[in-house]
Homo-oligomer: A and B are copies of this chain.
Amino acid sequence: MKARVHVMLKNGVLDPQGEAVRHALGALGFDGVEGVRQGKVIELDLAEGTSEAAVHDMCEKLLANTVIESYTVEMS
């Protein structure tokens, strides 16, 4: 089974990487890009029977810095 975790900076936390991408897109001539936020996506191959709660635990302990980042988990 697989899990996909998205980790994004929380709203209100400055995202210099996203800002850099926004500027670069503007410099390349792409108009109409009003904002960019960049985050991480982590795809986990899990043994059968691994619970979603275990994946949340992984996020809390390692994958996300919950002070400044939020995460979402999708199991499939």
Q: Tell me how many chains of this kind the complex includes.
A: 2
Question: How many Å from the CB of A10 to the closest CB on chain B?
Answer: 13
Q: Count of chain A residues with Cβ under 8 Å from any Cβ of B? A: 33
Cβ contact within 8 Å between B6 and A34: no
Smallest Cβ-Cβ distance to A63: which chain B residue: B21
Question: How many Å from the CB of A5 to the closest CB on chain B?
Answer: 10
Smallest Cβ-Cβ distance to A32: which chain B residue: B47
Cβ contact within 8 Å between A46 and B62: no
- A28-B61, A32-B47, A38-B41 are known; give 9 further A-B pairs, CB within 8 A: A8-B43, A21-B62, A24-B62, A30-B54, A30-B58, A33-B46, A36-B42, A36-B43, A38-B40
